[in-house]
């Protein structure tokens, strides 16, 4: 099992630390040929406009779209925006997931927050049923899921913060900023 | 379920999202748009870039809140703004505007020559400058959630940025080889909080994100700082004091992503037009240097 982490910009190093702790082989991906031989890819948090622009400049959009047709991809925050079909704004997107997202949906940085979430999907693999402590940084929300995309978690007010569509996964929050590796293990289960 | 805002985790977290990116000084909404389109991960909103502050002299203060707000309205990426060292009321004003990060900056004229702002008192995160590990950890002790090496702003001469990054990285490398019983004496020697010295040793890196600043003017300068081990780069005067800001900005962004790939660095360095003129620091009188501001 080898999982790549898109290393254009953002907190890719934090994902790599968690993957290594789970004894998963991992590498940074900056150019298309670095996707070869990977079982899955994580698109980290960062600025979605920066990641999108550089993905265009270095001809990564099409290779990433092809990769996502047959392989697992997980986007956290900016990564979730990049995976979506619609970000309510004109910027480069992979358009792989049938989700509509709204950027900076909670406001500016002073509104960034931590909260506990109920995530039933994490409990099915036998892991502990404890709440998942999630960190939201200038976070997007998933306004709607369409087609075969399904909601994995929502805030008490109903706003969607995690979604899955087959082997594709999107979270508004940042499991890589915590010591809780349940979400990474869940993603590995999709990457087989 | 309760939501907690303004925690150190979310303050530090935004800086983690900026890693591998370029933060650009902008003085108008138009500049901010150019920076965003070039791939900047954030912008620093201010009235004058450091090169102009140097040239014009006088007291340099927080920028007009109206300008900062206009810049905030013009882009979707995070917007930072500067307050004077120790000027906690300028910081309160910036926080009320909703800026995403405050730079308590030596580029402005200090308001307090003994004390920095107690940054734990704010919900908005702060970035502060440093020349060495002791200065960095004092700022983190006061609540800074991000650090940048100071360099010498507004010169276009990277030599001080290199000196400060090498100093910090070298001190961290030495710290990681120290015995635990040596840490208290080392903390005393560099004037840093013991707990943060211990944490730095355990992590083998600065406990918060560390960018380079002050003198970066070319893609090669930016990649040099990245190879020296910083997490990202601030570019102040280097972009909008150059001949073709949009092109240079995009090239520096690419250079930070591909900092270890000399073929790409060569490619992005071609035909960028005139760099900022720059000032050679070795010929600059001590009284004109600003990196010494901060205590």
Is it the case that residue B28 has pLDDT exceeding 60?
A: yes
Q: Is A132 helix (H, G, I), strand (E, B) or coil?
A: strand
Residue B147 has a pLDDT of: 98
Range B209-233 average pLDDT: 97
Q: Which of A14, A15, A71, A176 does the annotation list as catalytic?
A: A176
H or E element that contains B161? helix B159-176
C-alpha to C-alpha distance for B114 and B95, rounded to whole angstroms: 23
C-alpha to C-alpha distance for B206 and B139, rounded to whole angstroms: 12
| Close Cβ partners of A54 (under 8 Å, ≥ 6 residues apart) | A8, A9, A60, B39, B253, B254, B257
Q: Which of A10, A104, A115 sits opposite B2 (nearest CB)?
A: A115
What is each CA distance from A99 to A81, A84, A107, A151, B140, in whole angstroms? 9, 5, 20, 10, 39
What is each CA distance from B167 to A149, B132, B171, in whole angstroms? 50, 6, 6
Q: Which of B13, B207, B253 to mutate to test the interface with A (most CBs of A within 10 A)?
A: B13
Q: Which of B82, B201, B241, B254 does the annotation list as catalytic?
A: B82
Residue A128 has a pLDDT of: 61
Contacts of A108 in chain B (CB under 8 A): 72, 78, 98-100
Per-residue pLDDT reduced to its tens digit, A111-135: 999 999 999 888 765 656 689 999 9
Q: Which of B20, B38, B207 to mutate to test the interface with A (most CBs of A within 10 A)?
A: B20
Q: Do B19 and A108 touch (CB under 8 A)?
A: no
Share of chain B above pLDDT 90, in %: 90
Per-position DSSP letters for A74-107, written without gaps between them: EEETHHHHHHEEE-SSSS-----EEEEEETTTT-
Q: What is the set of domains in chain A, with CATH numbers?
A: 2-190 (3.40.50.880)
Angle subtended at Cα A174 by Cα A183 and Cα A2, rounded to the nearest 5 degrees = 50
**Helices and strands (H and E) in chain B: how many:** 13, 9
Q: Find out whether A30 and A8 touch, Cβ atoms under 8 Å.
A: yes
Of A118-122, A134-138, B279-283, where does the model show the most confidence?
A: A134-138
- Asked whether the whole model's pTM tops 0.90, one would answer yes
Q: pLDDT band for position A136 (50/70/90)?
A: very high
Q: Do A47 and B42 touch (CB under 8 A)?
A: yes
Is it the case that residue B208 has pLDDT exceeding 70?
A: yes
On average, the pLDDT of chain B sits at 96
| Residue A176 bears catalytic tag | yes
Is it the case that residue B282 has pLDDT exceeding 90?
A: no
Residues forming beta bridges with residue A25, ordered by sequence position: A2
Q: Do A14 and B16 touch (CB under 8 A)?
A: yes
| Close Cβ partners of B247 (under 8 Å, ≥ 6 residues apart) | B271, B272, B273
Cα nearest neighbour of B19 on chain A? A10
Is it the case that residue A26 has pLDDT exceeding 70?
A: yes
* DSSP category for residue A43: E
Angle subtended at Cα A41 by Cα A38 and Cα A45, rounded to the nearest 5 degrees = 155
Q: Do A108 and B100 touch (CB under 8 A)?
A: yes
Q: Mind telling me how many Å the CA of B65 is from chain A's nearest CA?
A: 16
Per-residue pLDDT reduced to its tens digit, B131-149: 999 999 999 999 999 999 9
Per-residue pLDDT reduced to its tens digit, B88-107: 999 999 999 999 999 999 99
Q: How far is CA B151 from the centre of its chain?
A: 9
Residue A13 has a pLDDT of: 98
Q: What's the maximum distance between 2 C-alpha atoms anywhere in chain A?
A: 43
Q: Do A54 and B254 touch (CB under 8 A)?
A: yes
On average, the pLDDT of chain A sits at 95
Phi, psi angles (nearest 5°) of residue B235: -120, 120
C-alpha to C-alpha distance for B291 and A143, rounded to whole angstroms: 46
Helices (H), A22-153: 48-57, 61-70, 78-83, 120-123
Phi, psi angles (nearest 5°) of residue B77: -85, 165
Contacts of B222 in chain A (CB under 8 A): none
Contacts of A13 in chain B (CB under 8 A): 19
| Residue A27 bears catalytic tag | no
Q: Do A9 and B21 touch (CB under 8 A)?
A: yes
Residue B97 has a pLDDT of: 98
Is it the case that residue B120 has pLDDT exceeding 90?
A: yes
Share of chain A above pLDDT 90, in %: 92
Q: Do B37 and A12 touch (CB under 8 A)?
A: no
Q: pLDDT band for position B33 (50/70/90)?
A: very high
Is it the case that residue A38 has pLDDT exceeding 90?
A: yes
Cα nearest neighbour of B102 on chain A? A109
C-alpha to C-alpha distance for B262 and B250, rounded to whole angstroms: 17
**Helices and strands (H and E) in chain A: how many:** 6, 12
Q: Does B70 touch chain A (CB under 8 A)?
A: no
C-alpha to C-alpha distance for B274 and B262, rounded to whole angstroms: 21
């Amino acid at each position: 099992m080898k999982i790549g982490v898109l290393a254009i910009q953002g907190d890719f190093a934090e994902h790599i630390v968690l993957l290594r702790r789970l004894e998963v082989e991992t590498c940074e991906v900056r150019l298309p040929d670095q996707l070869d031989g990977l079982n899955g890819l994580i698109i980290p948090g960062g600025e979605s406009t920066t990641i999108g622009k550089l993905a265009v400049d270095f001809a990564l959009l099409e290779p990433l779209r092809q990769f996502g047709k047959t392989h697992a991809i997980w986007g956290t925050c900016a990564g979730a925006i990049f995976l979506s079909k619609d970000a309510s704004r004109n910027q480069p997107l992979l358009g792989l997931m049938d989700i509509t997202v709204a950027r900076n949906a909670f406001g500016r940085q002073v509104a960034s927050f931590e909260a506990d979430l109920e995530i039933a999907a994490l409990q099915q693999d036998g892991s502990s049923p404890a709440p998942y402590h999630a960190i939201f940084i200038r976070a997007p929300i998933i306004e709607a899921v369409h087609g075969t995309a399904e909601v994995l978690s929502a805030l008490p007010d109903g706003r969607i913060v995690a979604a899955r569509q087959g082997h594709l996964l999107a979270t508004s929050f940042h499991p890589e900023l915590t010591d809780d590796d349940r979400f990474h293990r869940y993603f590995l289960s999709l990457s087989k | 379920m309760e939501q907690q805002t303004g925690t150190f985790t979310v303050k530090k977290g935004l800086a983690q999202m900026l890693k591998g990116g370029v933060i650009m000084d902008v003085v108008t909404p138009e500049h901010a748009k150019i920076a965003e389109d070039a791939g900047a991960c954030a912008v620093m909103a201010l009235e004058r870039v450091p090169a102009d502050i140097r040239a014009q002299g006088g007291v340099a203060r927080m920028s007009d809140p109206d300008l900062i707000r206009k810049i905030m309205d013009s882009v979707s990426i995070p917007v930072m703004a500067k307050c004077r060292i120790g000027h906690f009321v300028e910081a309160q004003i910036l926080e009320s505007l909703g800026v995403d990060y405050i730079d308590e900056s030596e580029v402005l004229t200090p308001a307090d020559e003994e004390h920095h702002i107690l940054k734990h008192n704010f919900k908005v995160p702060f970035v502060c400058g440093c020349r060495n590990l002791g200065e960095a950890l004092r700022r983190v002790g006061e609540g800074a959630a991000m650090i940048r090496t100071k360099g010498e702003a507004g010169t276009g001469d990277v030599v001080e940025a290199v000196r400060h990054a090498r100093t910090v990285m070298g001190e961290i490398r030495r710290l990681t080889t120290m015995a635990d019983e040596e840490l208290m004496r080392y903390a005393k020697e560099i004037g840093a909080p013991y707990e943060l010295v211990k944490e730095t040793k355990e992590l083998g890196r600065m406990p918060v994100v560390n960018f380079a600043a002050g003198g970066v003017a070319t893609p090669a300068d930016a990649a040099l700082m990245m190879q020296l081990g910083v997490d990202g780069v601030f570019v102040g005067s280097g972009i909008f004091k150059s001949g073709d800001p949009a092109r240079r900005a995009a090239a520096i962004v690419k250079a930070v992503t591909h900092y270890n790939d000399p073929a790409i660095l060569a490619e992005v360095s071609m035909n960028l037009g005139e760099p900022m003129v720059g000032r050679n620091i070795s010929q600059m009188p001590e009284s004109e240097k600003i990196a010494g501001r901060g205590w």
